[in-house]
Structure 1
Amino acid sequence: MKNVRREEKAIKDLLYEQLIKREHWLRDLKQNLETSIQNAPSGNLKIINCRGVEQYYLDSAETRTSYPNGKYLRKSDLELASKLAQRNYDEKLLSEVEKQLKNIQNIIKKYEKQEIVQVEELYSVYDRMSPSRKKMVDSRIMSDKEYVNQWSAQIYSGKDFEEGQAEIYTEKKERVRSKSEKIIADMLYHKNIPYKYECPINLKGLGMIYPDFTCLRLEDRKTILWEHLGMMTDPIYCQKAMKKIDIYAKNGFIQGRDIIYTFESEKYSLNTMSVENLINQIFST
């Protein structure tokens, strides 16, 4: 389902991108034509073939009274004739550009509205079912809201807190172990990124461990772990942290793709700007 979802989104994005590019191209062309027409001499060019010889005439509001059939243009007026011909062409092209621009803008509006309606209708087939019935079927497609609900509803047991340990709570009213973890949790929360705190996983070579955060990138429904290693000045802690990173790598967790690491020491505290940049980069792809 993840691959299908990604392919559908890629196709939708490609089509929408092409529509937008076409609209921008037409808008730029329209603006250039309007500028050219505004700077061109007024009037229309009439071309009459007289015994195999082309004769050029200027037809304009200013000359029509004195020259009802058009003012004859001599060879010395050839540049003016060319500008009039260009103006006439630009006006016809502008008319067609405006038609196409209006059509494509209507298509974009309909595309955006219909895309939302059609997708929501597909999702609603499952969403409208009763909870009892939902348990009995495998949803072929699932709305983001329903997916997050199911992902978040999975029950797990995190690590216990030691007696006397400082009580630090996130904005979600969850207890965490450090102020830095609270910073990360609150930033994920504010950016609407679903996460679980200390959700256990089993790693070959390490056994059951509790990553600080298990996050959900909703765009492709990928789970990404986040480990904050906050005591890197402590030699024993640092050694254990490096071993954990190595085992993560051996289990196929690649930094920036499957897992995020942030670090801290006595001299270097967690940089909130760096945290926000990491979230924006990894969870908006």
Structure 2
Amino acid sequence: MSPLQEELIARKKKLETVIKMARKDLANCPEGKLWVSTTHKAVQYYHHIIEKDRVIHRYLPRDQAELKQSLAQKEYLMQLLKLAERELHDIDSLLSRNSLMRMESLYSEMHPDKKTFVKPLVTNDEEFADYWLRKPVESNPSFPEELKYPTKRGELTRSKSEAMLADMYYELGIPYKYDCGIALKGGAVKYVDFILLDKKKRKEIYHEHLGLLDDSGYRRDNMQKLDLYRRSGIYVGKNLILTHEGAGSPLNIRDIRASVKEMFSL
């Protein structure tokens, strides 16, 4: 399902709630309408009502404030209901058409070798993920001999923990890129353990796993790296996941998995 379809369905649910509430409140409203007359800066209120085929304008004195309020509220609810029903009809009509699905499947139906040259404007979640994964990234060229832990997706990682994390994302259906360079503020390029894609929000999330916290030099280097991330708009609570392990604190993949599922609404 595309973001557009999700937005339409969310709007549809909101409209259905509004319509239900408006109809319920209208059932308790009095007959007639509220008329307002302004003469010489004096405002007078009238109850416009039809009784036995006769149109009656009954003056409403000050002590009829509750009736004035009810009639004014009724007018608002009737207009609200009319607009909500009209919009709901339009959304239902749009969702029932095949044009949305046709546009979103257009990219996936193209020749694979042509896809690399195309930047799709309308895609479903899976097509967007496919496009995102195809976008070239700069892999970390340092210490290639450390890449020796295989993942279920078929790549090699630098540690058993990173392989476990990669497999977790693979099993959850979260697209990821491993050990990629990202450009930070000031032009610096740093290599992040994982770049993740939230398909529903079309948003990139970064994941750094701090696997050697017992090493003071490692801690110092990563604290500096995290400071640079923060200055570049990457931080926990927004778009950064931090996990760690060290002596007495092994990787808890079960807890991480639960947190990731909640974060990605899985």
3-state SS of paired residue (1:212):
strand
Specify which of 118, 123, 128 is matched with residue 104 of structure 2: 123
CA 1:133–1:173: 2 relative to 1, 3 Å: closer
- Is 1:242 matched up with 2:223? yes
1:15 is aligned to: 12
Letter matched to residue 208 of structure 2: E
So what's the TM-score if we normalise by structure 2? 0.63
1:168 is aligned to: 149
CA 1:185–1:121: 2 relative to 1, 3 Å: same
Matches within 5 A, 1:263-278: 263-278=244-259
1:183 is aligned to: 164
3-state SS of paired residue (2:189):
strand
Matches within 5 A, 1:206-285: 207-284=188-265
Consecutive aligned runs of 4 or more in structure 1 exceeding 4 Å deviation = 5-8, 17-23, 114-118, 129-138
CA 1:164–1:123: 2 relative to 1, 3 Å: closer
Matches within 5 A, 1:60-139: 117=98, 119-130=100-111, 139=120
> Greater strand percent: which structure?
2
CA 1:118–1:225: 2 relative to 1, 3 Å: same
How far is the alpha carbon of 1:16 from its aligned partner?
Answer: 3.6
Q: Which runs of 5+ in 1 are unaligned?
A: 24-106
Q: CA RMSD in A?
A: 3.6
Contact 1:231–1:238 at 8 Å: present in 2 too? Answer: yes
Q: Which whole-Å deviations, capped at 9, do the CAs of 1:130-170 have from their partners, x for residues lacking one? A: 45766676533112222122111122341236375372111
CA 1:115–1:249: 2 relative to 1, 3 Å: farther
Letter matched to residue 15 of structure 1: K
So what's the TM-score if we normalise by structure 1? 0.59
Q: Which runs of 5+ in 2 are unaligned?
A: 21-87
Q: Which structure: larger Rg?
A: 1
Letter matched to residue 189 of structure 1: Y
- Is 1:203 matched up with 2:184? yes
Query: What number of residue pairs does the alignment pair up?
Result: 200
How far is the alpha carbon of 1:182 from its aligned partner?
Answer: 1.1
Measure the CA separation in 2 of the matches of 1:135 and 1:182. Answer: 28
Contact 1:226–1:260 at 8 Å: present in 2 too? Answer: yes
Measure the CA separation in 2 of the matches of 1:10 and 1:238. Answer: 43
CA 1:21–1:265: 2 relative to 1, 3 Å: farther
Measure the CA separation in 2 of the matches of 1:163 and 1:8. Answer: 43
2:48 is aligned to: none
Contact 1:205–1:247 at 8 Å: present in 2 too? Answer: no
